[in-house]
Structure 1
Amino acid sequence: MQPSFTSPRQVKIGDAAAFAGTTPRAIRHYHEIGLLPEPERGADGRRRYGHDDMIRLLWIRRMADAGIRLDDMRAAFDEDQDIEQGLEGLDRALAAREAEIARQRATVQRLRAVGSPLGLLSDLVVGLLGTLPPGALRRSDLEALLVTERVLGPLGAAVQATSFVVLATHPGLRAEEERLDAAEAALDDGVDPDDPVVEEIARRRCAHLQAIDRIARATGLDEQVDALFDTYEDPDEGEEREMSAFEAFTKMPYDFSPARTRCLQRSGELLGQSLADR
């Protein structure tokens, strides 16, 4: 006598998850976001899944395997929504993901080519700095570029990168940069903002920046950056940024003393005056 088998009319969440190739936790999440309706519960209070529940769960898994986001799956199940409209929305979402993956792969390729965290910065910055020999950039240089890209974007960081090219190729200017960094850091040791040393360091910083700018112009680095401004297309153009440049700068925790802050402000004023007079 052959044994007879009968399939259950309803199954528990563990069996439903095993059949669909997912996990009970994922199924509970589908319930929470309204993607999978809550099923009936048995006498023990546990969920029971019927044939229709399993079919919907299988479709969810197929769409997930196709790379469709959970938020976009609702359109496929919305009978009141035009199917073509829903498909257009899904196609746009997938195209956006494809573009994002392309950007991520480009970053990985830059990292492999450069072999340092510099590859995580924009291709504009890498293009200007990627040919420098190993060790030419300091860690603080990369950190400064990272902050500048966040505040001013790739073009702003590209402008700053020209200064680091000059410093990396002119040891005398690099030595002066280090002396100025040390002098500015010493202003945090209780120096009064009105102390004449603040004005002295600010003028030295301004002269130093002017020397870097002269070399950048003489070597054509400024023209390279000007060309970037003419050809660069911001991938985020037209989208509202999370915060303005000023807001981003004010959220960066700099622990500068009033004297050091005044020195930075004063050097900026002097440099602005020199550019206006040029």
Structure 2
Amino acid sequence: MHSSFTPPRQVKIGDAAAFAGTTPRAIRHYHEIGLLPEPERGGDDRRRYGYEDMIRLLWIRKMADAGIALDDIRDAFTTGAAFAGADSGDGIAGTLERLEETLAEQEAELGRQRMAVQRMRTEGSRMGLLSDFVTDRLKSLPEGSLRQADLDTLLVTERIFGPLGAAVQATRFIALATHPTLREDSDRIDDAEEALDDSVAVDDPRVAQVAVERHTFESALHAVIEESGLDKDDDALFDAWDTLHPAPADDGEDGADLGSGRREAGSMSAFEAIGKMPYDVSPAQWRCMELAIELSAQDSPAT
């Protein structure tokens, strides 16, 4: 049985801020300085944010985290490009210890920002703003073989499921980038799904037809991934991640759960994030996805 939950197509500023990891005040400031266009407002005269707004918010946050000034971020989008110490020795020692810790934290932050800038310069695109765990997965691809929409998808996935989830999803884009025929089929089906807009009823025959085409394509894509050995690379990703980020001894969670312990520190759960990220999906498109999932389930061996 499929859940009746559907993601919102637009969200209010509070949910937009929570998903992007920022604050409503910061978002309003982005509007004031022209960094983020004013979105449409609902019947209650409050701002409503859609998918493209969230994509831009996420890129702004990533670039700001990398140490890029807001004015420079705006220009890039426009062009397309006090502690108190004590007099005693112990007090001074404690103050110096805290100062050393602060400087170490600042040094680590500067190092992280420097690495982010170096990745941006090396990759020559926004791909450098994704986690190095993700960009390392994509370095073997020819220049220009990844599309902006691919990077947008990886950006959202990394926010919800963390670097490991995005690195695993990158397998899909590696297969598409290295198999032109698959990419052509993917574009054709994407266009067919895009045509299932709000003017198309959920019981329109085209919905079921596109679902079959999507299922057939996904099966072919999975076969190519297996034949090329990319699925084994995914297994290696899990091993590499566990080596870099060993789970606590008392952590009994399933290691296959990409939403557990693999997101950014202090981030929301995957379920919370999904509920705050708007997707412009029509009822017909949603039904098409459901039908394609049902077809995949029918192909799966009985358990």
2:172 counterpart of 1:163: yes
The equivalent of 1:248 in structure 2 is: 273
Number of residue pairs matched? 206
- Per-residue deviation, 1:259: 0.9
Sort the Cα spacing of 1:165 and 1:83 in 2 relative to 1 into closer, same or farther, 3 A: same
The equivalent of 2:293 in structure 1 is: 268
Counterpart among 104, 110, 115 of residue 119 in structure 2:
110
The equivalent of 1:227 in structure 2 is: 236
- Per-residue deviation, 1:239: 7.6
User: How far apart, in 2, do the equivalents of 1:252 and 1:148 lie?
Assistant: 11
- Per-residue deviation, 1:194: 2.3
Sort the Cα spacing of 1:156 and 1:238 in 2 relative to 1 into closer, same or farther, 3 A: closer
CA deviation string 1:118-161 (max 9, x = no partner): 11112222122222222211111111111111111111111111
Query: 2:144 is paired with a residue of what secondary structure?
Result: coil
The equivalent of 1:203 in structure 2 is: 212
CA deviation string 1:203-249 (max 9, x = no partner): 22122122212211221211112111112235986985331112222
What letter matches 1:256 in structure 2?
Answer: V
Sort the Cα spacing of 1:237 and 1:207 in 2 relative to 1 into closer, same or farther, 3 A: closer
What letter matches 2:188 in structure 1?
Answer: R
Sort the Cα spacing of 1:239 and 1:171 in 2 relative to 1 into closer, same or farther, 3 A: closer
CA deviation string 1:59-89 (max 9, x = no partner): xxxxxxxxxxxxxx3243698x844444433
Counterpart among 158, 164, 179 of residue 149 in structure 1:
158
CA deviation string 1:68-122 (max 9, x = no partner): xxxxx3243698x844444433333332332222222222222222111111112
Sort the Cα spacing of 1:184 and 1:84 in 2 relative to 1 into closer, same or farther, 3 A: same
Q: Which has the higher contact order (CA 8 A, sep 6+)?
A: 2
Counterpart among 192, 209, 212 of residue 183 in structure 1:
192
CA deviation string 1:250-272 (max 9, x = no partner): 22221211111122233234335
The equivalent of 1:174 in structure 2 is: 183
Counterpart among 282, 291, 295 of residue 257 in structure 1:
282
User: How far apart, in 2, do the equivalents of 1:180 and 1:97 lie?
Assistant: 48
2:86–2:92 contact (8 Å) kept in structure 1: no
User: How far apart, in 2, do the equivalents of 1:267 and 1:273 lie?
Assistant: 10
Sort the Cα spacing of 1:240 and 1:170 in 2 relative to 1 into closer, same or farther, 3 A: closer
Sort the Cα spacing of 1:92 and 1:222 in 2 relative to 1 into closer, same or farther, 3 A: farther
2:224 counterpart of 1:215: yes
Counterpart among 71, 96, 99 of residue 90 in structure 1:
99
User: How far apart, in 2, do the equivalents of 1:115 and 1:238 lie?
Assistant: 25
User: How far apart, in 2, do the equivalents of 1:277 and 1:175 lie?
Assistant: 33
Sort the Cα spacing of 1:109 and 1:94 in 2 relative to 1 into closer, same or farther, 3 A: same
Query: 1:74 is paired with a residue of what secondary structure?
Result: coil
Highest CA radius of gyration, 1 or 2? 1
Sort the Cα spacing of 1:75 and 1:199 in 2 relative to 1 into closer, same or farther, 3 A: farther
2:105 counterpart of 1:100: no
2:159–2:264 contact (8 Å) kept in structure 1: no
Query: 2:112 is paired with a residue of what secondary structure?
Result: helix
Query: 1:132 is paired with a residue of what secondary structure?
Result: coil
CA RMSD of aligned residues (A): 2.9
Sort the Cα spacing of 1:231 and 1:193 in 2 relative to 1 into closer, same or farther, 3 A: same
User: How far apart, in 2, do the equivalents of 1:254 and 1:243 lie?
Assistant: 18
User: How far apart, in 1, do the equivalents of 2:301 and 2:273 lie?
Assistant: 27
User: How far apart, in 2, do the equivalents of 1:91 and 1:272 lie?
Assistant: 56
What letter matches 1:95 in structure 2?
Answer: A
